[in-house]
Amino acid sequence: MAPQPALRLRLLRRPLFDKILFANLAVVGIGAIAGTVITVWHVRAFPNDLHLELIILFVTAGVILSYFVNRWVLKRALAPLDNLQVGVDRVRAGEADVRVHMGNISDERFDRLAETFNAMLLRQEESAAEMQGLTRRLIGAQEEERLRLARELHDEAAQSLTSLLVRLRLLEHAHTPDEAQARVHDLRALTASALEDVRRVSLDLRPTILDDLGLGPALEWRVDEFNKEGATQGTVVVRGMEARIARDTELALYRVGQEALSNVHRHANATRVEVSLVRTNDTVTLEVRDNGVGFDPSAARGATPATRGCAMGLLGMRERMAIIGGDLVVDAAPGKGTTIRAGASATADMHT
């Protein structure tokens, strides 16, 4: 009777060591039985023979049988490794969606190898897709920022310069010194306003105060600007920041502060926001705390790239801090306000 399929499968899936061992035991066992039967028959039929041909026959048959049985077992048992090799080659050739199938007579150990390999491929595909989504949204955010700057330059600076041109033409045609004086006065006011527009756009891009005077004064300036924008009133406390810290750290913390303030302005509906920048020994910590509506940070963090929409602010803050080896904590709850805390080493390489 043929073994039950489940039992057969269990036998076929024994470890490679067992397969070879059992195959060789079978060869030796069958050889011994067949040899004994043939020898007994031969001794009875030809009692005076030397039986040399019998020995040659047994050795040859044993070697040939052992060769074929071992070859068959090893080929079948190692086939999963060949599959794995084919999978590896396909991945190296840049193919997508590669998966290794082990077949049904492989060792459990080979199965685990294939499973691990397949899981690694899946994780790699997922992180590549995540990275692609992130890059797409970063490029989108960059384009939006360019559009905003282009609009600001066009609507404000370019408009002021056009008015300047018109008024210069009027000045050319002034009839009396008094008229010319009035036009020059106009021109000066307009030029000052155009200059202010350009300065604002440029400061928005990267405040020179950050490079010239450092993070503390730059944050104080940003909060001053913030206070002019809306109803929320901001205050700043800077402590222990007499010496400059690494430029990368300054820039990262400044951008975190800028985005946190922008979020307060756009989402918090707060009356107050407190910004503090404190250096203690080797760490510098920036905290932006508002008393607004708050939100659920775990929902925002758990979102996948697809569901996160185009919200890049918190993600960007986290990435910036990670790049300089720092960290970011978002402490918020609906109705309880929001605190963003970014910490980094104050003694990081000053040349970076």
Residues that bind Mg ion (CB under 5 A): 263, 313
Q: Which is nearer to ligand ATP, 136 or 199 (CB)?
A: 136
3-state secondary structure 175-192: CCHHHHHHHHHHHHHHHH
Cα–Cα dist 159/128, whole Å: 45
Which partner in ligand ATP, Mg ion, none is near 293 (CB below 5 to 8 A by kind)? ligand ATP
Instruction: Write the CB contacts of 264 (distance below 8 Å, at least 6 apart in sequence).
Output: 226, 232, 234, 270, 273, 288, 290, 292, 338
Consecutive H or E run containing 277: strand 272-280
Q: How far is the CB of 263 from Mg ion (least distance, A)?
A: 4
Which partner in ligand ATP, Mg ion, none is near 295 (CB below 5 to 8 A by kind)? ligand ATP
Q: Which is nearer to Mg ion, 262 or 345 (CB)?
A: 262
Which partner in ligand ATP, Mg ion, none is near 264 (CB below 5 to 8 A by kind)? ligand ATP
Residue number of the CB atom closest to ligand ATP: 313
Residue number of the CB atom closest to Mg ion: 313
Q: How far is the CB of 311 from ligand ATP (least distance, A)?
A: 3
**Burial of residue 107, with CB atoms counted within 10 A of its CB: 0-12 exposed, 13-18 middle, 19 or more buried:** buried
Q: How far is the CB of 192 from Mg ion (least distance, A)?
A: 33
Which partner in ligand ATP, Mg ion, none is near 267 (CB below 5 to 8 A by kind)? ligand ATP
Instruction: Write the CB contacts of 102 (distance below 8 Å, at least 6 apart in sequence).
Output: 80, 83, 110, 111, 114
Q: What residue ranges bind ligand ATP (CB under 6 A)?
A: 263-264, 266-268, 290, 292-295, 300, 310-315, 338
Q: How far is the CB of 126 from ligand ATP (least distance, A)?
A: 22
Could you tell me how far CA 127 lies from the centroid of its own chain?
6
Q: Which is nearer to ligand ATP, 236 or 348 (CB)?
A: 236
Q: Which is nearer to ligand ATP, 23 or 270 (CB)?
A: 270
Report which DSSP code applies to 266. I
Q: Which is nearer to ligand ATP, 121 or 300 (CB)?
A: 300
Q: Which is nearer to ligand ATP, 106 or 338 (CB)?
A: 338
Closest CA relative to residue 275, chosen from 344, 341, 189, 225: 341
Residue with tokens 């910590």: 285
Which partner in ligand ATP, Mg ion, none is near 194 (CB below 5 to 8 A by kind)? none
Q: Which is nearer to ligand ATP, 187 or 251 (CB)?
A: 251
Q: How far is the CB of 205 from Mg ion (least distance, A)?
A: 18
Cα–Cα dist 259/149, whole Å: 17
Strand order in the sheet with 327-332: 233-239, 272-280, 283-290, 338-345, 327-332
Pairing mode of beta strands 233-239, 272-280: parallel
Which partner in ligand ATP, Mg ion, none is near 207 (CB below 5 to 8 A by kind)? none
